[in-house]
Amino acid sequence: MINFSNVSKRYPNSYDALKNITFTVETGEMVFITGHSGAGKSTLLKLIAAIERPTSGSIIVNGQNIGTLKGTAISILRRNLGLVFQDQKILFDRSVFDNVLLPLQISGFDLKAAAGRVRAALDKVGLLDKEKARPITLSGGEQQRLCIARAVVNRPSILIADEPTGNLDTDYARDIMNMFRSFHQVGVTVLIATHDAELLGGAQQRILTLDHGKLAA
């Protein structure tokens, strides 16, 4: 579960990215976060991942208070989070397989067990046949699938994505969204920030709308 209670975030330049935000996302729920550019969507997701800290208020993720976590506790929290951010760094000097393997190496996984997880993640996103390829040879949509595979290889309980369909054509965007829905269907909590109104059309999931740092009524 994710709970925001009266959360505000002010950056050092006195810019208020979020103002007194309160909401709860239940375990296993899928939620879209929408709003104009600069509304605070990315900041909200970074707060959940403890990349940023709230200026005031409390954020509880999987029973942990984000504002008080330090060092090792943050690393442990993030092992239960799958993160797909716009500035995701693909390692172009490594294979597709090695890109997805990296989080497991950092976590100290046995190589044989890790290899099985990597191939399962690549199979889930339709890239198993390209495990030996270099990322530079992949299309934009395939590179995004690679980022998703790397995000889910740790089998996280929460999957967070910031504009995951940005710069993709409509067909690829739909494929990516269907991928996130498939993770949701097996019990993963999914939060997706997007300004793409077309993707939200007919969405049955809850939509939180941010407007200049505030939750719209």
- Amino acid in position 85: F
**Which residue, chain included where needed, has tokens 């067909």?**
171
Task: Give the pLDDT of residue 204.
Answer: 77
Q: What's the alpha-carbon Rg for the chain, to the nearest Å? A: 17
Task: Give the pLDDT of residue 172.
Answer: 84
- Find out whether 12 and 35 touch, Cβ atoms under 8 Å: no
Q: How far is CA 46 from CA 133, 135, 157, 194, 204, in A?
A: 31, 26, 16, 14, 25
Task: Give the pLDDT of residue 201.
Answer: 66
Beta partners for 181?
A: none
Domains and CATH numbers, the chain: 1-80+160-217 (3.40.50.300), 88-155 (no CATH)
Alpha helices in 9-95 (DSSP H): 41-48, 71-79
Rounded Cα distance, 21 and 55, in Å: 12
Q: 10 Å Cβ neighbour count for 31?
A: 19
Q: Does residue 46 sit in helix, strand or coil? A: helix
Cα 123 to the chain's mean position, in Å? 19
Which residues, at least 6 apart from 76, have a Cβ–Cβ distance to it below 8 Å?
none
> What is this structure's pTM?
0.92
Task: Give the pLDDT of residue 170.
Answer: 84
| Ranges in the chain, pLDDT < 70 | 197, 201-203, 217
